[in-house]
Structure 1
Amino acid sequence: MASERLSAVQMDGAGEKGDWSFPAVYTLGFLTLVSAFNYLDRSLLGLALPAIKAEMHISDTALGLVSGFAFLLFYSILGMPIAWLADRYNRRNIIALGFAFWSCMTLLTGWVVNIWQLALTRFLMGAGEACGIAPSNSIISDIFRAERRTLAFSIFGTAVSISSILFFPVMGWVGHVYGWRAMFVAAGVPGIVLSLMFILTVKEPQRGASDAKRKVRTEKESFAATLAFLLHSRAYICIVCGATLMGLNVFAASVWTPTFLTRVHHMTLVEVAATIGPIRGVFGLAGVLLGGLLIDRLIRRASHWRMTIPALACLLAAPAELVFILADDSWLWLTAYAISAFLLLVHQGPVFAAIVSVARVRMRALATSILLFSAALVGQALGPLIVGALNDLLQPSLGDIAIRYSMLVIVVTAALAGLLFLLAGRFLDADARRALEDE
């Protein structure tokens, strides 16, 4: 047992200067870029939905199933086994192989001719993307100390904003000029090239290196032991439930907001991409980074800020989303959308940092994957489906504005998630100490 534990002498973990060394920053930056492609590839379908509906003549419910359930089935099923492997084997290689595979599926989406082929590429894209976030979180937790992980995970969380600011408008222009199929080709090819660069330039970090000042458990844990350990963490359960509700919020909104703007505000595809992409990207980026920096400062005074800040962000996002959905004046709904974009992803970095803090070293990828599984199964699968089904239900009586009332679902989920994050903050310190026990 002792030989399997890492001591301060055995590890070259991050110190005060090592946290932001060039290798650490490069690895974090490349992982963030990979994650940006992860979000881009899965969100492209939302941008293409109006064109696909017109070409293939399918219902909103079917589109909701394909955009949500088809992607999430393999993503959810394979996420935990892949994370279990990532807790045991080379995480860099797992990420690189997954990146190459989902990029190939994105490329092939450009050649589908019916709903069944589209569903198949979404299935397989989900399988590849299951290799992304959980192993990345495990790597980040090994190159940044606990005191700096919230900021590191907040930077990692800017992937959504990078995708929105840099990639989404470009893909919207490509789709407008060359058609929706060209968007998937333009997104898939660079991903394949970058996956090769990733495996050649990123180094697999040593397990537990960031916990160099104390002995920690680094022996491999069974799946059953990991699950039992995590289920006894009250903070973990509250965080998973809150993240699940935010998953429903974020994914339902990302899939249906382009359609909402075309139906309610009569915007074209290129106008939607040029408007919501930059707004979501710029304000989301500002919210994630400022939230991470604020928590990085405040937790030196009181540790509860790790969950209080994300909780407040979610609670304030709910009324902003309500105004965005119901307002008719463009300046008002654009302002509300910018505010909600600023607030909605503030929770992401702190949540990932909290998850790895309550899990032991060889549990971190699986702990993250369970959270992603829950958020995906309920959030990403049901979110688009619920809105799509409500659209079809309300369409006969309300017409195109039915989607305005269907999307009120996201207001409720944001408020409930905020309350759960507040509750998690009450248990976080005790559960983090439990994870560091050297037994």
Structure 2
Amino acid sequence: MQAKTASPGYRALVLAMLLLVYTFNFLDRQILGILAQPIKLDLGLSDTQLGALGGIAFALLYSTLGIPLALLADRTSRSWVITASLTVWSGFTALCGLATGFWQFFLFRLGVGVGEAGGVAPSYAIIADYFPPQSRARALAIYSLGIPVGLAGGALLGGYIAQNINWRVAFIAVGLAGVVIAPIFRLVVREPKRETAADGVSAPARVPLSAVFPILAAKPSFWLMSFAAGFSSMCGYGLAFWIPSVLIRHFGFDLITTSQYVGSLLLIGGTLGVFGGGWLADRMGPRDRGNYAKLPAVAWLITVPLFGAALWSTSPMLAWFFFLIPNGLNILWLGPVTTAVQNLVPPHMRATASASFLFINNLIGLGAGSWVMGAMSDAMTARYGDNALRYATMLALGFYLIAALLMLLAVKPLRRDWVEV
């Protein structure tokens, strides 16, 4: 299948299937966050242990296997790698519903991470092959809608199933649904021929990491954007995991109310933020490549006071409005930054370049975010009781400020490092 000759309708279908898979990627992550309180009570876990399940248990192999699986995708078939990954992570998600203790749950979450490691970077590369540069940021932003849609779906489905049946059935149902979708994805999404990718650039069949990483390592913008995204994700993933528990402890919500409250915020705010980031990047990026870094920095600076006001509020309705805007701004970076990373290397190295970026981003963000907030909560519980978790999340907002500073420092280097294709 030659990507550059694919019809607009088929390109849209490919993007829709990738979006569906990415939605399950985040649905499987968020379901643990919405079910944290019933799991904590059932298995007798601490906030630190819950944070570890949401963070390092998932991120350890998710981050480290991302690069070798991306290399495999660049050398073989990206669509096959995504199909196998979806099957593996969905299977382990279902197994989480059978866990009887912390370490068994930890091992199953490791398995979820193994599967999800092979999903994102190959998807970025397929999108870059099918969509031309002038519409690539919007296509990547549409793909990234899987984050808010998946997070919202995880909150709503997980909360509803757990409230009406139990938390174990929620994991099993969501996991089995992903297993069913995997073969359908493979039948629909055809692998584009590398030598006739959308950019018209010939690509060798094998791309060793030794050929890709030196190109990235020599570019300051890669390091600055990767660590900026990592610190942002550290707070973003941590908040996504812990906000449901904050609402239950602070406002006394039941599970259904919490899932509806969180789901509406993620779906409305997150969708507008992700798509808005891609639209702005496609409009502003061609004028100045530095705008791909500048846009996220400004968004994170606005995010901090709004999240702080929401967490400090004593009114659920007022808190909802304060939460809404930063739920979009905190992930506005996805379209601009993923597009920028794609353009730091030649086309045939994109999956590996994306995986290198995701390794840093996820090891910091996913690995540490929820665990750090949970550990801070446990440390402050003796003094602040049920408010300890809320104070821990407020302190963690400082990571957004670090992210904004690093991204502003990336503006000038990005202009020099950009590869025009």
Q: Is the 8 A contact 1:321 1:410 kept in 2?
A: no
Equivalent residues in 2 for 1:260-339, closer than 5 Å: 260-339=246-325
Equivalent residues in 2 for 1:134-153, closer than 5 Å: 134-153=121-140
Deviation at 1:305, TM superposition (A): 2.6
Greater shift, 175-184 or 52-61, is seen at 52-61
Deviation at 1:219, TM superposition (A): 5.7
Is structure 2 residue 150 aligned with structure 1 residue 163?
A: yes
- From 78, 82, 101, the equivalent of 1:114 is 101
Partner residue in 1 for 2:19: 32
Taking the aligned partners of 1:427 and 1:183, their CA distance within structure 2 comes to 46
TM-score normalised to the size of structure 2? 0.95
- From 253, 274, 278, the equivalent of 2:239 is 253
Deviation at 1:370, TM superposition (A): 1.7
Which amino acid letter does the alignment assign opposite residue 262 of structure 1? Answer: I
Which amino acid letter does the alignment assign opposite residue 168 of structure 1? Answer: A
TM-score normalised to the size of structure 1? 0.91
Which amino acid letter does the alignment assign opposite residue 339 of structure 1? Answer: I
Partner residue in 2 for 1:177: 164
Which amino acid letter does the alignment assign opposite residue 81 of structure 2? Answer: I
From the superposition, tell whether residues 308 and 325 of structure 1 become closer, same or farther in structure 2 (CA, over 3 Å): same
Q: Is the 8 A contact 2:34 2:154 kept in 1?
A: no
- From 198, 210, 225, the equivalent of 2:198 is 210
Q: Secondary structure at the match of 1:303?
A: coil
Deviation at 1:216, TM superposition (A): 5.6
RMSD value, Cα? 1.8
Which amino acid letter does the alignment assign opposite residue 138 of structure 1? Answer: A
Deviation at 1:427, TM superposition (A): 2.0
Taking the aligned partners of 2:94 and 2:313, their CA distance within structure 1 comes to 38
From the superposition, tell whether residues 167 and 44 of structure 1 become closer, same or farther in structure 2 (CA, over 3 Å): closer
Greater shift, 407-416 or 382-391, is seen at 407-416
Q: Is the 8 A contact 1:171 1:186 kept in 2?
A: no
Percent of residue pairs bearing the same amino acid type: 31
- From 184, 206, 212, the equivalent of 1:226 is 212
Is structure 2 residue 405 aligned with structure 1 residue 415?
A: no
Q: Secondary structure at the match of 1:102?
A: helix
Q: Is the 8 A contact 1:47 1:172 kept in 2?
A: yes
Gaps of 5+ in 1: 1-10
From the superposition, tell whether residues 425 and 13 of structure 1 become closer, same or farther in structure 2 (CA, over 3 Å): farther
Deviation at 1:276, TM superposition (A): 0.8
Gaps of 5+ in 2: none
Taking the aligned partners of 1:81 and 1:164, their CA distance within structure 2 comes to 27
Deviation at 1:222, TM superposition (A): 2.1
Taking the aligned partners of 1:110 and 1:13, their CA distance within structure 2 comes to 40
Partner residue in 2 for 1:23: 10
Deviation at 1:23, TM superposition (A): 1.5
Is structure 2 residue 222 aligned with structure 1 residue 236?
A: yes
Deviation at 1:354, TM superposition (A): 0.6
Deviation at 1:180, TM superposition (A): 0.5
Deviation at 1:204, TM superposition (A): 0.6
Taking the aligned partners of 1:417 and 1:275, their CA distance within structure 2 comes to 27
Aligned residues: 420
Partner residue in 1 for 2:374: 388
Partner residue in 2 for 1:129: 116
Deviation at 1:235, TM superposition (A): 1.3
CA shift digits 1:360-400 (9 cap, x unpaired): 22321121112221122111111111111111110001101
CA shift digits 1:16-63 (9 cap, x unpaired): xx6x71121111111111001000102211111111111111211112
Deviation at 1:148, TM superposition (A): 1.4
Taking the aligned partners of 1:123 and 1:304, their CA distance within structure 2 comes to 37
Q: Is the 8 A contact 1:220 1:362 kept in 2?
A: no
Q: Is the 8 A contact 2:35 2:158 kept in 1?
A: no
Partner residue in 2 for 1:426: 412
